[in-house]
Amino acid sequence: MENDAALWSRFLAGDEKAFEALVTAYRPGLIRFIEGFVHDPFQAEDLAADCFAHMLAFPKKNDGRVSVRTWLFVLGRSRALDALRRGRRFRFVSPEDVEGELTDPDSPEDAVAADEMRDAVQRAVAALPEAERTAVTLVYFEGFSYKDAASVLGKTVKQTDNLLVSAKRKLKKSLSEEGRSLL
């Protein structure tokens, strides 16, 4: 796939297919990310659509200092937090549709063990403070670089690194208390 900067340039030049490629590439991850805040898949889809609509309506607001993907996730975070401030019900449910498995189960026992590990990780991530949970989601579930995650979080790269170090320490402790080891 073309990089997002090239696709964005093509879109700005009038190529609608380039914007469709950006939507196709980033929509699933953006929805998962937003759902981590609002905990409602339908609301997350609506907010993600709003982010893409904002990009269409105000394409010049992306001044090129951050990637299109980072700008999109900043918009997503902003929309999600606005929805929470407007009084939406808040309950944390970790992303269940993370692509890939923790293990590739060859037997039913392996499948059960993988499901139990996934549930333990989801509970441990859900227990993290919001900033740490968001940093973990961006870096480890969505594959953001520390720099891009820092932009979304509104923090420096060092602050983001500190959040991740603290989160990993808490996750390791939480999982070891359950008798599991992932880190």
Of 159 and 60, the one with more pLDDT: 159
CATH number at residue 37: 1.10.1740.10
On whether both 18 and 71 belong to a single domain, the answer is: yes
Q: How distant, in Å, are the alpha carbons of 37, 138, 182 from that of 21?
A: 25, 21, 35
Digit-coded pLDDT (tens) for 43-69: 999 999 999 999 988 888 887 788 899
Domain carrying residue 70: 4-85
CATH number at residue 126: 1.10.10.10
Digit-coded pLDDT (tens) for 137-152: 888 888 888 898 899 9
Nearest to 77 by CA among 42, 136, 31: 31
On whether both 115 and 169 belong to a single domain, the answer is: yes
On whether both 65 and 129 belong to a single domain, the answer is: no
User: Is residue 82 within 8 Å of 137, Cβ to Cβ?
Assistant: no
Mean pLDDT of the chain: 82
Indicate if the pLDDT at residue 88 is higher than 60. no
pTM of the model: 0.61
Going by pLDDT thresholds of 50, 70 and 90, the confidence category of residue 87 is low
Q: How many Å apart are CA 128 and CA 131, to the nearest integer?
A: 8
Is residue 112, in this structure, part of any structural domain at all?
A: yes
On whether both 59 and 14 belong to a single domain, the answer is: yes
C-beta contacts of 57-60 below 8 A and 24+ residues apart? 59/11, 59/12
Digit-coded pLDDT (tens) for 8-23: 889 889 888 999 999 9
How many structural domains does the chain have? 2
Is residue 120, in this structure, part of any structural domain at all?
A: yes
On whether both 11 and 78 belong to a single domain, the answer is: yes
Is residue 101, in this structure, part of any structural domain at all?
A: no
